Amino acid sequence: MSKIKSKHESLAELVCELTRYCALKEEYFAASFNLSPTEVRFLKLFAFQDVYTIKELREKLGLTPGRITHILDSLEAKKLISRLQDEKDKRNIIVKLLPKSLPLISNLSENYNKLHEEILEHVNDEELKQIYSSVEILVDVFRKWNEKE
């Protein structure tokens, strides 16, 4: 029995397929740095800000406290980050990069940009504008949906 898909079902399938490809890209990229995809996302945050509290990291990455602890333990073992008690509020823990990680962060950003250039190398300017606009709309739709929940 053949069922005709609605526009919504077709879109949902495309979003799922895109999500799978993005996950594969993240795994490929992270493996080239001997990191997990979550560790890469974690470290990429430090390209924009020098220090974060654990609460800020949880909120930005949408991870549980246990998962954040696991990532922090792993990155600390690799001597990339350190945890310090906040001098202003002893209840808070501050996470900061160690000097060894600075070249890695720079390399991550540079190679991440190169990977996306490679992925999009056969897309012309007009198509790129359409993709950008469509993704902006899609992100906005999901953001609004998430805020309602």
- Tell me the mean pLDDT in the region 26-33: 89
Residues 14-36 have a mean pLDDT of 91
**Confidence at residue 2, expressed as pLDDT on a 0 to 100 scale:** 56
What is the model's pLDDT at position 47? 83
> Is 108 within 8 Å of 45 (Cβ atoms)?
no
111-128 average pLDDT score: 94
Mean pLDDT of the chain: 90
* Domain covering 8-108 in this structure, CATH number: 1.10.10.10
User: What was the pLDDT predicted at 89?
Assistant: 86
- Coil, helix or strand at residue 53: strand
**Contact assessment for residue 50 and residue 97, using Cβ atoms and an 8 Å cutoff:** yes
Q: Closest Cα partner for 115 from 42, 36, 24?
A: 24
The closest of 40, 108, 27, 122 to 74, measured between CA atoms, is 40
pTM of the model: 0.74
Q: Does residue 134 carry a pLDDT above 80?
A: yes
| Mean pLDDT value of segment 42-61 | 89
- Identify the band that residue 138 occupies on the pLDDT scale cut at 50, 70 and 90: very high
Residue 48: the pLDDT is 83
